[in-house]
Structure 1
Amino acid sequence: MNYKKLLTRILAFTSLAFIFAFLAPSVSYAQDTNFHIYLCLGQSNMEGNARFEPQDTVQVNPRFQVMQAVNCPDLKREMNQWYTAVPPLTRCNTGLTPVDYFGRTMVAELPKKVRVGVIIVAVGGCKIELFDKENYPSYTAKAPEWMKGMLKQYDGNPYGRLLSLAKEAQKKGVIKGILLHQGESNTGDSLWVNKVKGVYDNLLKDLSLKANNVPLLAGEVVNADQGGVCASMNNIIAKLPQTIPSAHVISSKGCTVAADKLHFNAAGYRELGKRYAVEMLSILNGSKKTR
C-alpha cells in the first residue's frame, strides 16, 4: 500500500471538509437585502386597541408583509409564515396598530424593489418587565387572569417568541429597526429607561445586531393635549436617547384618542404609524443619524 498517497488523500479530504464546515453557515440561506424587517413590541397600543375600518383592509400593498406570531386558523394564517399585512397584524382578534400605517407609509416611499416585513409581539396591560428574558417568569407568575390567555398564545414567553420569529425572519431579510410602544403600565417608573435598554441590548446580542444599524423607535403614550391619563410617562420616555443613543422618540401630540384617554382611536393609530415611518425614513436616508 502506498502510504504516502493515502496520507495525501486523507489530508485533501480533511481540508475539503473543513472548508465546507466553515462556509456552511454563510450559504445555508440567502438574505434579501431589499427585504427590510422591523421587530415590534409593547402593550395594548402596539397590540392594536381600535377596530380597523374598511379603509384599513383594502389596497394593502403586497410589498408590506407580516410574519404571523400566533396560529390563526380562522384567518387561515400559520405562525412563522409571511402574509400580506392586512389587519389584524398582532393576534387573531386584535385591532388596528401603529404598525399598519408604519408599513404602508414605508413601502409607499421606498424604492419598489424594497419589501417591508413586520413582526409584532405585544400584550395589552403588560409592563416592560414581561420582555425581560431573564426575569419574566416572576412577572408572568403574578399576571392577572385576563392576561394569561394572551400569554398562553406566546407559550408564556413573549420575548422568546419574538426572538424565535426574528431568527426565522433573518433567513429571508435584514432587520432594520425595532419599534416599541409601551409605558402606560410603567407610568412613573424612573427605572423604565434602563429596563428598556436591557430588552433592546438583549435583542441586539441574541440576534447578532449592532445598535448603529438597528435603531429603536419608541412612541409616546397618549399626549397631554388629548387628556392622556398616562401622559406624564412621556417625560420619562423622552429620556431614552440619553441612555440609548440609537433611540428615537415618536411624538403622539395631536394623535386622536378613544374615550378612555388611554388608547388611540383608529385615526390616531394611522397618524402615529405614519410618524414612526417618517422617522425611520429619515434615518435610512441619512438625514438623521443613529449613533
Structure 2
Amino acid sequence: MKLKTYILILAALLVVQLKGFSQDPNFHIYLCFGQSNMEGNARLEHQDSLSIDDRFQMMSAVDCPDSGREKGHWYTAVPPLCRCRTGLTPADYFGRTLVENLPKHIKVGVINVAVGGCKIELFDKDSCESYVETAPFWMKGMLKPYDNDPYARLVEMAKLAQKDGVIKGILLHQGESNTGDSLWTEKVKGVYDNLIADLGLQAENVPLLAGEMVSEDQGGSCASMNKIIATLPDVIPNAYIISSVGCPQRGDRLHFTAEGYRMLGKRYGEKMLSLLLEDHQ
C-alpha cells in the first residue's frame, strides 16, 4: 500500500511540474493601457499590415467576430491591437522593434486595453465603478466590450497570458484627460502597484514605460502634462519616460499620425531593449 501511495504522490508531483513548465520563459509579454493614443487613433496605412513576424503576438482582450478573434486567444499581431476597429498604436511598432532585435527564439506578446478620453481614474479599482456611472455617452460604447471594467479585463487577460509566458513590462500612454493634475503620478503608482500585486509580480523586474503627450515642438495642446509625466520615476523607481519630441500629430494637437505612432512605438521598443540588455550584463 505504501509503495502504491508513493507512486501516486510521485505521479501527482510530475503533473504539477509539467504544468509549471508550460510557461515559456522565452515568450515575453507586455501589458499596454491608457487612453486614445494607446487605443490607436491613426488610420492604418498599407505598410502597417505587411510582413508581420509571427513571433509578435497579441492577445485579444475583446471578441471581434468580423476578424475571427476571440477574447483571451493569441494571434499574430496584425493591427488593430486594441479593440475591433481601433487604429495604429505605439504597441504595434514596440513589438515589431523587439522581435527585429531579439534572438529568434524569443517571442513577444502584447495585451492592449485602452479607452479613448478616459482619465487614469478609470483604471483605479476603487474609483472605476463611479467613473463608469458618470462616463459620457460616447465613452460607454468603448467601455461595454470590457464589461465596464477595463482594469479587471486587463488583469483577467494577463493571468491567462501568464500561463503561456512571462510578463516583462507595462506600457502606458495616458494623461491628456489629466492634464495639470499634480496627483497623476500617485494615481498611476496606485494602478501600477495593483497590477504588480494582483499578478504576483516583482516590481523590480517589471518596468513601466510611459509615453509623453504630443510635444510642444508639434504644437501639442497637452504638452504641459509632459512636465508632470517627467516626475513619474520619482514615485515609481522602475518607470521610464518615452519622449514624443518630433513625433508628428494629425492636426488636432492631441493625437499622433501613423508615422508618429511608428516613431513613438520604436522608442518604447528601444528603451525596453536597453533594459533587457542591462539585465543580462
Please say if residues 107 and 115 of structure 1, whose CA atoms lie closer than 8 Å, have aligned partners that are also in contact: yes
What's the counterpart of residue 221 of structure 1? 213
Alpha-carbon distance in 2 for matches of 1:63, 1:280: 17
Partner of 1:272: 264
Write out aligned runs for 1:134-145 (5 A).
134-145=126-137
Gaps of 5+ in 1: 1-8
- Cα drift, residue 99 of structure 1: 0.6
Deviations 1:138-197 (A, max 9, x none): 111100000001100000100000000000000000000000000000000011000000
Q: Residues 35 and 115 of structure 1 are in contact (CA less than 8 Å); yes or no, is this contact kept in structure 2?
A: yes
Matching residue within 218, 222, 225 for 1:233 = 225
How far did 1:277 drift?
A: 0.4
More deviation, 279-288/34-43: 279-288
Distance in 1 separating the partners of 2:260 and 2:163: 34
Write the distance in 2 (CA, Å) between the matches of 1:203 and 1:130.
14
Q: Is the 8 A contact 1:282 1:288 kept in 2?
A: no
Pairwise CA distance, 1:211: 1.1
Query: Following the alignment from structure 1 to structure 2, what is the Cα–Cα distance between the partners of residues 201 and 25?
Result: 29
Identify the residue that residue 65 of structure 2 maps to in structure 1: 73
> What number of residue pairs does the alignment pair up?
281
**Structure 2: 5+ residue runs without aligned partners?**
none
Specify the code of the residue in structure 2 equivalent to 1:33: P
| Matches of 2:11 and 2:63, distance apart in 1 | 40
Q: What is the DSSP-based 3-state SS (H/G/I as helix, E as strand, rest coil) of the residue aligned with 1:36?
A: strand
Q: How does 1:177-188 map to 2 (within 5 A)?
A: 177-188=169-180
- Please tell me the residue identity of whatever aligns with 2:184: W
- Find the counterpart in structure 1 of residue 50 from structure 2: 58
1:204 is matched with which residue: 188, 193, 196? 196
Match of 2:245 among 243, 249, 253: 253
Within the candidate set 104, 108, 113, 1:112 is matched to 104
Normalising by structure 1, what TM-score? 0.92
Tell me the CA shift for residue 127 of structure 1: 0.3
Alpha carbons 1:29, 1:171 under 8 Å: kept:
no
Please name the residue that 1:83 is paired with: 75
- TM norm structure 2: 0.95
Query: What fraction of aligned residue pairs are identical, expressed as a percent?
Result: 64
How far the C-alpha of 1:14 sits from its partner, in A, is 8.7
1:5 corresponds to: none
1:171 aligns with 2:196: no
Backbone CA RMSD of aligned residues: 2.1
Counterpart of 1:151, as a letter, is L
Instruction: Indicate the larger mover: 28-37 or 173-182.
Output: 28-37
Where has structure 1 moved over 3 Å in runs of 4 or more?
A: 9-26
